[in-house]
Amino acid sequence: MDRPPSPDPGAPDGVASDTSSHRANGRYRNPWPNATPPTFRDVIAWRRTHTTVPRPRPVLPAPVPSAIAYPRAASGTLSATWVGHSTVLLQVGALNVLTDPIWSDRASPMQWAGPRRLTKPGVALDALPPLDAVLLSHNHYDHLDARTVRSLVQRHPSARWFAPLGVARYVRQWGARTVIELDWWNAVDFDGLRVACTPAQHASGRTPFDRMRTLWCGWALRSGPHAIFFAGDTAYHPEFAEIVRRYGPFDLCILPIGAYEPRWFMRPVHVNPEEAVQICADLAGAHPGHAPPVALAVHWGAFSLADEPMDEPPRRARAAWGDMGMDPDRLWILSLGETRRVSPNDS
């Protein structure tokens, strides 16, 4: 059972208020028009129309050696290493931050069924530097993996875990010592890092019986001169301008580009590549005097979760980026394990 709300969400094990404006009758909701997630009946309808038309073998992301700084990066550094799916290691100055970690072979409650991993993680668990913070966007199995959480807790017992409302209980159950649970627009500070929970348009649930019982979110980080936006899993919604107004301008945005077809089913919960590029344009447009953020494309190449070809998302993202007239060097389609740094001239 979750702990009662704390009056101080910045406390070491703080819990934000459970009286969210986007919560009613014990369930969370997306508070915008046309934002209702697919129902179980929709899932059945999708599966009935789903076809397995033979396709060319997809070109999946290849692994490359990482350039992670051990144990920590130098002051002023901002780098990102793509582990795979939505798992990214951020080195923000001397802090090491991990997003939505999953190292398991399947995104499933069992390792003998469910979506199987098609590409191995680009960084081994034992190769991670000492973690200071882990960000969780929601409780779906491809973003919140029990085996991975337990492994990380054993290796990095002092890491702080950040989760949206209702998700902390999973992480505590799996051994995490310090879990900070936040509502949208709540923020906390530690060790010179500001962590803010931001709105996302998505859904939650790990069984047919707990749909929408926990919250979903993105995260905004600021440390020294750098600010980062991790969108989590999201559809396109009206709050990106407000997110960047409150927490930007951003130097790096981590955006999902995969799991978007068919649109009638996926539109309320997942952006397509064109919408992901539009998010980056929205974030840049709010601060025209600042260099536009670098966009790191994630949520593709690991699990087959939708109907589009596995290697289509990066092609469409690059095309949309070019159609918007944006600098091609500021769209990062990384290899697994690849590390890139945002240079001081880029921010």
Whether 173 contacts 202, CB under 8 Å: no
Confidence band of 16 (pLDDT split at 50, 70, 90): very low
Higher pLDDT, 138 or 59: 138
Q: What confidence score (pLDDT) does residue 80 get? A: 98
Question: What's the mean pLDDT when you consider all of the chain?
Answer: 91
CA of residue 106 relative to chain centroid, distance: 18
CATH fold, domain 65-340, is Metallo-beta-lactamase; Chain A (3.60.15)
Q: What confidence score (pLDDT) does residue 1 get? A: 27
DSSP state, 219? E
Q: What confidence score (pLDDT) does residue 13 get? A: 38
Nearest to 342 by CA among 300, 288, 297, 296: 296
Q: What confidence score (pLDDT) does residue 87 get? A: 98
Higher pLDDT, 163 or 53: 163
The CA distance from 330 to 328, in Å, is: 5
Among 49-58, 150-159, 249-258, 277-286, the minimum mean pLDDT is found in 49-58
Q: Which residues contact 191 (CB under 8 A, 6 or more apart)?
A: 95, 132
